[in-house]
């Protein structure tokens, strides 16, 4: 059984699309997941599943969540090995964990979209694309970032969700622990 991490997009934000973590874990179990652990309220789930196809597993989980909670929830999946690669490929080592974020995309961004916002367009903020993950170094934080919304309008056209580095590291601990 493969260990995976699921990132849910847009739940428990501003009191909308509320999902309690025990209910979320139960929905994953109903979809065939085992050893389910949730982390904080933003929709991070570490679990094991027999599925071999990421696309089918993602669709099955999204269908289960819609049936259980009554609204659509995009789910982005990564294997434990893919998550380890995210950590290893960090282009901004030493950045304070709440100032470094990773946007996880369903598909790698198109080259023309990457070209629209240069990696140094909003200094001192910067970003680096590695496959289907986008690392954002945001010294002022996500809340005041000018880069993050610019990327959201251009680069992050496929389903995407971001996590700060502290969450990335904690999920790695959970998936390997």
Domain end among 62, 80, 98 = 80
Question: Is there a single domain that holds both residue 66 and residue 104?
Answer: no
**C-beta of residue 164 within 8 angstroms of C-beta of residue 142:** yes
Q: Can you give the pLDDT at residue 156? A: 66
Domain end among 47, 80, 113 = 80
Question: Is there a single domain that holds both residue 47 and residue 13?
Answer: yes
Question: Is there a single domain that holds both residue 55 and residue 134?
Answer: no
Q: 137-145: long-range contacts (C-beta < 8 A, 24 or more apart)?
A: 137/92, 137/95, 137/99, 137/100, 138/99, 138/100, 138/101, 139/99, 140/99, 141/98, 141/99, 142/101
Domain span including residue 104: 87-176
Question: Is there a single domain that holds both residue 142 and residue 63?
Answer: no
Q: Model pTM?
A: 0.93
Question: Is there a single domain that holds both residue 75 and residue 94?
Answer: no
Average pLDDT value for residue range 97-112: 93
Residue 157 pLDDT exceeds 80 = no
- Give pLDDT tens digits for 117-148: 887 889 999 999 999 999 999 999 999 999 99
Rounded to whole angstroms, what are the CA distances from 172 to 54, 126, 169? 19, 24, 5
| Closest of 107, 97, 99 to residue 74, by C-alpha | 107
Q: How many domains does the chain have?
A: 2
Q: Can you give the pLDDT at residue 174? A: 96
- Give pLDDT tens digits for 55-85: 999 999 999 999 999 999 999 999 999 999 9
């Amino acid at each position: 059984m493969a260990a995976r991490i699921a990132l849910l997009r847009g739940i428990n934000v501003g009191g909308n699309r509320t999902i309690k973590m025990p209910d979320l874990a139960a929905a994953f179990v109903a979809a065939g997941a085992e050893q389910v652990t949730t982390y904080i309220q933003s929709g991070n789930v570490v679990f094991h599943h027999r599925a071999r196809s990421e696309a089918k597993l993602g669709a099955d989980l999204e269908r289960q969540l819609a049936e259980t909670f009554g609204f659509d929830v995009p789910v982005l999946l990564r294997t434990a090995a893919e998550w380890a690669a995210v950590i290893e490929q960090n282009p901004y080592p030493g950045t304070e964990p709440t100032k470094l974020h990773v946007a996880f995309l369903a598909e790698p961004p198109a080259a023309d979209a990457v070209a629209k916002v240069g990696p140094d367009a909003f200094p001192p903020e910067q970003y680096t694309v590695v496959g289907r993950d986008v690392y954002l170094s945001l010294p002022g934080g996500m809340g005041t970032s000018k880069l993050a919304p610019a990327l959201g309008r251009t680069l992050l056209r496929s389903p995407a969700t971001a996590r700060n580095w502290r969450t990335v590291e904690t999920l790695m601990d959970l998936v390997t622990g």
